[in-house]
Amino acid sequence: MRTVRGITALVAGAALGVGLVAAPAQAAVTNDTTRANTLTAMHGEAFANASYLAYGAEAGRNGHDDIAALYAATADTELNEHFTEEAVLIDFVGTDVANLRTSIAGEWHEATVVYPGYARQARRDR
């Protein structure tokens, strides 16, 4: 177990009042609410990863290489352990065709709905 993961698990476990016990392997979750909650958690992990990379880059620019390394290690844990383990729980990755369809639909939605809507709101907020 990586030190960062151990620290993260220890802090999370202490906050929740639970011990550190490895979860047994299990079948993918199929409940819609649990899947939605897991996707929300995965968004949080991805955002934490990107945030920690940005924070680490700033620390590095300021000459704090030790802090930058801690941020980089924590970012790696958020993405390559937490996000990945949550993705496995809900069979997040599908076939190549399904993954392409999901990717295309997501990018299309951003380009045609989300960002144009944000731009309209920003213009109104001026």
How far apart are alpha carbons 70 and 89 in whole angstroms?
27
For the chain, what percent of residues have pLDDT higher than 70? 79
**Same domain (yes/no): 46, 77:** yes
**Same domain (yes/no): 85, 63:** yes
**Same domain (yes/no): 39, 88:** yes
Question: Is residue 105 domain-resident?
Answer: yes
pLDDT tens for each residue of 62-96: 999 999 999 999 999 999 999 999 999 999 999 99
How far apart are alpha carbons 51 and 93 in whole angstroms?
24
- CB 4 within 8 Å of CB 74: yes
* Average pLDDT score, the chain: 85
Name the residue range of residue 79's domain: 31-93
The domain tally of the chain equals 2
Going by the DSSP 8-state scheme, the letter that residue 125 receives in this structure is T
**Same domain (yes/no): 74, 102:** no
Q: Render 25-68 in DSSP notation, one character per residue.
A: P-PPP--HHHHHHHHHHHHHHHHHHHHHHHHHHHHHHTT-HHHH
pLDDT tens for each residue of 5-59: 443 443 344 344 444 344 455 677 779 999 999 999 999 999 999 999 999 999 9
**Same domain (yes/no): 72, 124:** no
**Same domain (yes/no): 60, 37:** yes
Q: Left if phi > 0, otherwise alpha if psi is -120 to 50, otherwise beta: which for 32?
A: alpha
Question: What's the confidence (pLDDT) of residue 25?
Answer: 57
**Same domain (yes/no): 41, 88:** yes
**Same domain (yes/no): 101, 123:** yes
For the chain, what percent of residues have pLDDT higher than 90? 76
Kindly report the backbone phi and psi dihedral angles of residue 28, in degrees, each rounded to the nearest multiple of 5, phi listed first.
Answer: -60, 145
Helix (H, G, I), strand (E, B), or coil: what is residue 78?
Answer: helix
Question: What's the confidence (pLDDT) of residue 30?
Answer: 77
Question: Is residue 37 domain-resident?
Answer: yes
pTM of structure:
0.70
Question: What's the confidence (pLDDT) of residue 12?
Answer: 44
Question: What's the confidence (pLDDT) of residue 88?
Answer: 96
How far apart are alpha carbons 42 and 119 in whole angstroms?
26
